[in-house]
Structure 1
Amino acid sequence: MKLRSAQWIVDDEGKTIMGNGRLRIFENIEVTGSINKAAKKMKMSYKAVWSKIKATETHYGKQLVIADKKDGSHLTEDARELLEKFRTLKERCRTQDDMVFDEIFSD
């Protein structure tokens, strides 16, 4: 048996700021250089992806994606920092979860 858990960051009202879905959105923008291509790759509408980006930017208080019709879309340094922090959070939580699980369920 193994424990699987998920982490996401929410505001005081429980609205998502960052989670696995948003992580994938930002990663796909980085890879494709396009919000539209990222949305298509994820089988989401452009509007849905854009809304999630804007919600995260609003809650985080920083611009995370620069969209330019000429140069395409790319992540800001603040976005890269947020993604790295979120990945670190997830890994540390996984490590701690595994330790607690092993402690409780080991024979």
Structure 2
Amino acid sequence: MKKLIPTTNPVKVTGAIWIENQDGSERFLGKGRIQLLELIIEHGSISKAAKAMGMSYKRAWDLITSMNAQATNPFVITQVGGKSGGGAIVTPEGLQAIEAYKSLQARFQAFLAQENS
């Protein structure tokens, strides 16, 4: 690795990827939101997904509301109780967002590996 900053100890380049709205005032997608979407797929429930993450239901609901409000089409839709019970599903748009984020994350990790070699 090229020495960008003179140091006595080895250093490495690191970072995280998240997507914000244009002015940076609100986060749209990041590692935690993607994990929440994946856990909703796995559990079929916002409350179970939140519990699996050690997150309050309110926090999970707020994140979903934020993503749904910013997306062209909702990423998560809910179904109120009834015969088969309530639940939540990740929409095709949500699935597409997961894949796009994972692709971006893979390219970022490749960049970091290149910079740290």
TM over 0.5: yes
Moved more, 1-10 or 14-23: 1-10
Q: Which has the higher helix share?
A: 1
Between the aligned partners of 1:38 and 1:72, the Cα distance in structure 2 is 11
The question of whether the paired residues in 2 share the 8 Å contact of 1:34 and 1:73 is answered with yes
Superposed structure 1 runs of 4+ greater than 6 Å apart: none
Identity of aligned residues (%): 30
TM-score, normalised by the number of residues in structure 2? 0.79
Q: Which one-letter code corresponds to 1:10 in the other structure?
A: E
TM-score, normalised by the number of residues in structure 1? 0.86
Deviations 1:35-88 (A, max 9, x none): 011111112111111110111122222111121133521110110000000000
Question: Which of 1 and 2 has greater Rg?
Answer: 2
Provide the aligned length of Structure 1 versus Structure 2: 102
The question of whether the paired residues in 2 share the 8 Å contact of 1:66 and 1:75 is answered with yes
Between the aligned partners of 2:78 and 2:53, the Cα distance in structure 1 is 18
The question of whether the paired residues in 1 share the 8 Å contact of 2:13 and 2:115 is answered with no
SS of residue matched to 1:74: strand
2:5 matched to which residue of 1?
Answer: none
| Runs (5+) with no aligned partner, structure 2 | 1-10
When the two chains are superposed, the root-mean-square deviation of aligned CA atoms in Å is 1.5
Match of 2:30 among 19, 31, 37: 19
The answer to whether structure 1 residue 28 and structure 2 residue 43 are counterparts is no
1:9 matched to which residue of 2?
Answer: 19
Between the aligned partners of 2:12 and 2:45, the Cα distance in structure 1 is 37
